[in-house]
Amino acid sequence: MILEGAKQAVSDAKSGAVKSAYLVTCPKTRALTGYAMSFLLNLFCETHSACGVCSGCKKVLSGSAADIHTIAPENGSIKIGQIRELGDFLAEKPFEAAHKAVVIFEADKMNTAAQNALLKPLEEPPENTVFMLLAGSDYGLLPTVISRCENIRLLPAAREHAKELLEKEGVSADRAELALALAQGYYEEAAVLAEDSDFFAMREQTFSLFFKMMAQKTYAVSAFVAFFEENKERTGEIIDILKLALMDTLKLQLAGGEARIANIDQREMLTRMADGFTTGAIYNMIEKLLEHEGRMAYNVNFILSCESMLFEILKEKYRWLMS
Ligand SMILES: [Zn+2]
């Protein structure tokens, strides 16, 4: 499920001849995770075909492969300690497979000390070890880190071509169109989204709660907070759904019927919002979502932060709403 042109690391994995380091950039998180998954499956699959059923594939899918080490930000950044901890893993020979892989999520969140610590293993990689750095962009990465990696950039695809590919993978025409619009044209992102029925169910619920909240005449937020709590591990996705909906609302205000929005199936409700609020109110609502997102990176009280975000959004609604 990867476009021609961005396939390099994955086809290297298929051939078993991988480079020592790849840097894959894309502003879409699911696209990056999907790419890394496809790479690891092909690399660790017993037949290098991402068959999904051999013991190598099963270990990758269950997250129990001893030869894969993953690193992700803790409290907002990747620190030198996390890179140093790699030492023992790198010193050993592969345990089960022919390769070892280090995957660094949100690599652009490595602080400078961590990046400097990573330079040595990137420069002199242990035999049969491959690094995969995933990042929204290479902004924030040291040129020395970037230059030691094969650079792969995932780009938006031509809409019709991407839709055709998704349909070939068995995705319905409607779902393909919506997934591509939500993914803003990034095929790899749309491919992961289209398969994620939980996401679409959660999105339905988010919209239903959100539109209800925008229509109500009180400050009641408990149902929405409970929903956030139930889906705590996917809270980032819920915030993204709301952000995208508000961005669409702004576009509808500016361009009306001509607006190219992401939530193509919600045009009617979003148009109603666009007509009901000032541009300033919508900007401020987006800001409240971003503030909540920022707080989440620092382990603040989850429920309290949700409550305050929704309350602040309602305050915007009442402050600007004329009727
Ligand atoms: Zn396999």
Q: What is the pLDDT of residues 26-51, one digit of tens each?
A: 999 999 999 999 999 999 999 999 99
Does residue 104 contact residue 134 with C-beta atoms inside 8 Å? Answer: yes
3 assigned to some structural domain: no
128 assigned to some structural domain: yes
Question: From the CA of 35, how far away is ligand 1's center (Å)?
Answer: 16
Question: From the CA of 14, how far away is ligand 1's center (Å)?
Answer: 11
Tell me: do 178 and 207 sit in the same domain. no
Question: Per the structure, how many domains does the chain have?
Answer: 3
Tell me: do 70 and 17 sit in the same domain. yes
67 assigned to some structural domain: yes
Tell me: do 174 and 83 sit in the same domain. no
Tell me: do 103 and 191 sit in the same domain. no
Among 155, 184, 212, the domain-final residue is 155
Tell me: do 267 and 138 sit in the same domain. no
Tell me: do 162 and 149 sit in the same domain. no
Quote the pLDDT of residue 98: 86
Question: From the CA of 43, how far away is ligand 1's center (Å)?
Answer: 9
Residues 246-288: tens digit of each pLDDT: 999 999 999 988 899 999 999 999 999 999 888 999 999 999 9
Quote the pLDDT of residue 321: 56
The three-class DSSP label of residue 129 is strand
Question: From the CA of 42, how far away is ligand 1's center (Å)?
Answer: 7
Question: From the CA of 58, how far away is ligand 1's center (Å)?
Answer: 7
Tell me: do 15 and 109 sit in the same domain. yes
Q: Residue 187 belongs to what domain range? A: 157-195
Neighbour order of strands in the sheet with 100-104 = 68-71, 100-104, 129-135, 21-25, 150-153
Quote the pLDDT of residue 297: 75
1 assigned to some structural domain: no
Among 195, 210, 245, the domain-final residue is 195
Question: From the CA of 142, how far away is ligand 1's center (Å)?
Answer: 35
Single pTM value for the model: 0.84
Low-confidence spans in the chain with pLDDT less than 70: 1-2, 4-5, 320-323
Quote the pLDDT of residue 323: 47
Question: From the CA of 60, how far away is ligand 1's center (Å)?
Answer: 9
Domain containing residue 112: CATH number: 3.40.50.300
168, amino acid identity: K
Tell me: do 149 and 37 sit in the same domain. yes
16 assigned to some structural domain: yes
Q: What residue ranges in the chain does DSSP mark as E strands?
A: 21-25, 68-71, 100-104, 129-135, 150-153
Question: From the CA of 227, how far away is ligand 1's center (Å)?
Answer: 37
CA atoms within 13 A on the CB side of 75: 5
Tell me: do 98 and 220 sit in the same domain. no
Quote the pLDDT of residue 7: 77
Structure tokens at 134: 């995933």
Tell me: do 263 and 178 sit in the same domain. no
Structure tokens at 128: 């049969």
Tell me: do 166 and 277 sit in the same domain. no
Tell me: do 220 and 190 sit in the same domain. no
Domain containing residue 221: CATH number: 1.20.272
